[in-house]
């Protein structure tokens, strides 16, 4: 694979000029229907040094222009295909009886590559290049040329098939297609048991880890307010939470209705449940925090619904939209009660989830556009520890969401408020992550205590 990449680089350097025509050519598609179908053309098309393949960010440019270099060197997406032909990927293919190597299986390529049919490919490119530019930015054949010309507006690119990643709601949806799954491509417990990592997500943290290859905040787009530098991460976190809950409810709905593309009928799907209800280490009865707290709302021994995408978000929803939040709470209590039975009723789950999804969407829209300030962020930093017990008992994955939330929120808060004890708080937040390192020995009481401690040292 390494050599294939190198050859690709060479080819690019030689023909950079021919790859990006500076003026729209005759074959250029526009939004009208006579245009050629829009196609994928592969990451090589973006990699010229004068386009997005600069080694360093270009000074004074709104666009960094080193996006390709960031992606190929630092971003795991460029190695997503290699995850398939590694030892774990190949073992998964055997266990799952895919009948092909993982790197040839549509079931895997759907998320681990730019998996386009031959008809959708505008020019030959290597599937081994993993999750690349057009996975997130949309097929580029119709906008590649024109978008490099002066004064070509973003809106025209969108009309020609570019994904609007600037819209935080669309952007999160895009990430979640692979990081949560859809009925056409998903990671279920069968795949997890065969070796796939469990999927979890949080937009701000995951964007930072990726890492971001864009300027954040950007300058204002025409007609839109300037993004507020201090609070972009908070907006990403909060709107991302709401979209994530909505997407999770959609997933639960199609799973309850048995709408998988392969028509296999699996219910309840274990990956919708709290993993560590089934997968935790056993010890002495007297030491069990689970027995100590009892099993609120379910029969002892039944695995609970994985409520991690709601446990923290509900606090935020209550703060900013108490009307919708109340109704959402009621609907999600129904979802949770039913999903936390050994044999959940599919119709009840589907009905409650479908009633809850639009509420989450409404809150998402509000969170994407509302202004943020230090007061709101501080209040959230306090509300999460205040709710430490419920969050910690909900699930290890809920605790993980709380840790990521405290991290994102505190980064934004401390940048603005510059508290004298920022190092102390930072260490306390790092402690949260440490307690999640070995999930099967997760201790809810200990986690709750660590979370509460942060409340006492916040300035």
Cα–Cα distance for residue pair 279/191, rounded to 1 Å? 16
Q: Pick the piece of the chain touching ligand HEC (CB under 6 A) from 2-10, 207-215, 354-362, 449-457.
A: 207-215
Of 111 and 356, CB closest to ligand HEC: 111
Q: Is 268 exposed, middle or buried (0-12, 13-18, 19+ CB in 10 A)?
A: buried
Residues 58-117 that bind ligand HEC (CB under 6 A): 63, 67-68, 71, 76-77, 79-80, 83-84, 88-89, 92-93, 96, 102, 105, 107-108, 110-112
Residue of the chain from 54, 66, 135, 361 that contacts ligand HEC (CB under 6 A): 135
Query: Residue 236 — left, alpha, or beta (φ > 0 → left; ψ -120 to 50 → alpha)?
Result: alpha
Smallest separation (angstroms) from ligand HEC to the CB of 154 = 7
Of 74 and 330, CB closest to ligand HEC: 74
Other CB atoms within 10 A of residue 149 CB: 11
Binding mask 145-184 for ligand HEC (x = CB under 6 A): --------------------xx----x--xx-xxx-x---
Peptide linkage before 211 cis (omega within 30 of 0): yes
Other CB atoms within 10 A of residue 187 CB: 19
Of 38 and 187, CB closest to ligand HEC: 187
Of 72 and 360, CB closest to ligand HEC: 72
Q: Are 73 and 54 in contact (CB under 8 A)?
A: no
* Site size toward ligand HEC, by CB under 6 A: 66
Q: Is 89 exposed, middle or buried (0-12, 13-18, 19+ CB in 10 A)?
A: buried
Closest CA to 136 of 53, 214, 227, 23: 214
Q: Are 304 and 273 in contact (CB under 8 A)?
A: yes
Q: Pick the piece of the chain touching ligand HEC (CB under 6 A) from 132-140, 257-265, 398-406, 444-452.
A: 132-140
Residues 375-404 that bind ligand HEC (CB under 6 A): none
Smallest separation (angstroms) from ligand HEC to the CB of 371 = 18
Q: Could you tell me how far CA 100 lies from the centroid of its own chain?
A: 28
Q: Pick the piece of the chain touching ligand HEC (CB under 6 A) from 8-16, 194-202, 349-357, 401-409.
A: 194-202
Smallest separation (angstroms) from ligand HEC to the CB of 120 = 14
Residue of the chain from 16, 35, 127, 136 that contacts ligand HEC (CB under 6 A): 136
- CB burial readout 289-316, b (16+ within 10 A) else e: beeeeeeeebeeebbbbbbbbbbbbbbb
Cα–Cα distance for residue pair 267/291, rounded to 1 Å? 27
Smallest separation (angstroms) from ligand HEC to the CB of 11 = 16
- Is residue 1 close enough to count as binding ligand HEC by CB under 6 A? no
Q: Are 118 and 28 in contact (CB under 8 A)?
A: no
Q: Give the pair of three-digit tokens for residue 459.
A: 């300035």
Q: Give the pair of three-digit tokens for residue 243.
A: 């979209």
Q: Give the pair of three-digit tokens for residue 186.
A: 């998903």
Residues 31-50 that bind ligand HEC (CB under 6 A): 43, 46
Residues 283-312 that bind ligand HEC (CB under 6 A): 303
- Tokens 């590649």 label which residue? 144
Smallest separation (angstroms) from ligand HEC to the CB of 163 = 8
Q: Are 405 and 202 in contact (CB under 8 A)?
A: yes
Residues 210-269 that bind ligand HEC (CB under 6 A): 210, 213-214, 218
Smallest separation (angstroms) from ligand HEC to the CB of 329 = 24
CA distances from 140 to 5, 28, 120 (A): 21, 11, 11
Of 30 and 177, CB closest to ligand HEC: 177
Closest CA to 241 of 181, 307, 186, 183: 307
Residue of the chain from 39, 137, 235, 255 that contacts ligand HEC (CB under 6 A): 137
Footprint of ligand HEC on this chain (CB under 6 A)? 43, 46, 52, 63, 67-68, 71, 76-77, 79-80, 83-84, 88-89, 92-93, 96, 102, 105, 107-108, 110-112, 131-133, 135-137, 165-166, 171, 174-175, 177-179, 181, 185-187, 189, 191-193, 196-199, 206-207, 209-210, 213-214, 218, 270-271, 273, 275, 277-279, 303
């Amino acid at each position: 694979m390494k050599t294939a990449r190198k050859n690709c680089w060479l080819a690019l350097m030689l023909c950079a000029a021919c790859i990006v025509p500076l003026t729209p050519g005759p074959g250029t598609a526009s939004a009208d229907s006579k245009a050629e179908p829009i196609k994928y053309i592969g990451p090589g098309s973006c990699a010229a040094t004068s386009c997005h393949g600069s080694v360093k960010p270009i000074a004074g440019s709104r666009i960094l222009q080193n996006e390709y270099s960031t992606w190929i060197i630092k971003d795991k997406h460029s190695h997503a295909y290699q995850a398939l032909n590694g030892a774990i990927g190949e073992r998964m293919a055997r266990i799952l009886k895919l009948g092909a190597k993982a790197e040839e299986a549509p079931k895997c390529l759907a998320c681990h590559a730019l998996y386009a049919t031959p008809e959708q490919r505008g020019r030959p490119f290597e599937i081994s290049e993993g999750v690349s530019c057009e996975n997130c930015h949309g097929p580029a054949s119709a906008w590649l040329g024109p978008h490099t010309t002066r004064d070509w507006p973003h809106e025209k690119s969108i009309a020609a098939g570019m994904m609007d990643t600037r819209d935080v709601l669309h952007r999160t949806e895009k990430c979640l297609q692979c990081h949560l799954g859809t009925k056409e491509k998903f990671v279920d417990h069968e795949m997890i048991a065969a070796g796939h990592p469990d999927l979890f997500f949080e937009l701000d943290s995951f964007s930072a880890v990726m890492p971001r290859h864009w300027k954040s905040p950007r300058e204002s787009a025409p007609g839109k307010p300037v993004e507020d530098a201090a609070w972009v991460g908070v907006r990403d976190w909060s709107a991302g939470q709401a979209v994530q809950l909505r997407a999770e409810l959609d997933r639960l709905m199609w799973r309850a209705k048995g709408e998988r593309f392969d028509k296999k009928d699996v219910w309840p799907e274990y990956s919708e449940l709290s993993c560590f209800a089934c997968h935790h280490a056993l010890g002495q009865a007297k030491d069990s925090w689970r027995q100590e707290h009892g099993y609120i709302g379910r029969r002892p021994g039944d695995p609970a619904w994985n409520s991690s995408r709601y446990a923290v978000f509900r606090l935020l929803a209550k703060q900013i939209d108490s009307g919708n939040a109340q109704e959402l709470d009621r609907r999600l209590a129904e979802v949770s009660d039913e999903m936390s039975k050994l044999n959940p009723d599919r119709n009840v789950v589907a009905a409650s989830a479908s009633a809850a999804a639009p509420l989450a969407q409404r809150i998402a829209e509000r969170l994407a556009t509302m202004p943020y300030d230090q007061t709101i962020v501080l209040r959230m930093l306090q509300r999460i520890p205040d709710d430490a017990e419920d969050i910690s008992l909900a699930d290890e994955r809920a605790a993980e969401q709380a840790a990521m939330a405290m991290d994102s929120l505190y980064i934004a808060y401390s940048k603005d408020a510059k508290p004298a004890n920022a190092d102390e708080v930072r260490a306390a937040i790092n402690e949260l992550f440490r307690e999640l390192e070995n999930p099967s020995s997760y201790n809810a009481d200990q986690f709750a205590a660590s979370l509460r401690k942060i409340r006492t040292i916040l300035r």
